[in-house]
Amino acid sequence: MVRRGGGRALTLLGGTCRKISVDPERCYGSGDCVYRLPSVFTVVDGFGAVLPGREEAEDEARVREAAEGCPSRAISVSG
């Protein structure tokens, strides 16, 4: 389960926080993140971005899958 909070942190009920980010310097706009997880990612000005208010993903495994599947390795999940 996820506890909602502010910012770009994923707060899991186990006390673990995760931050999702897309590096605009690495992203070349393939849109793969949006294809894999449209509930979390979007395209802004041709590049991947985390949707406002969706920084707390409800399915960490799917977010990690999107990060691992990013062809430019622009998505990071940390924390």
Q: For the chain, which domains are there?
A: 2-78 (3.30.70.20)
3-state helix, strand, coil in the chain (%, to 5): 20, 30, 50
Give the pLDDT confidence of 47-72 residue by residue, as tens digits: 999 999 877 666 788 999 999 999 99
**SS3 category, 3:** strand
Give the pLDDT confidence of 8-51 residue by residue, as tens digits: 333 333 445 678 999 999 999 999 999 999 999 999 999 999 99
C-alpha 36/C-alpha 13 separation (Å) is 24
What is the pTM (predicted TM-score) of this model? Answer: 0.74
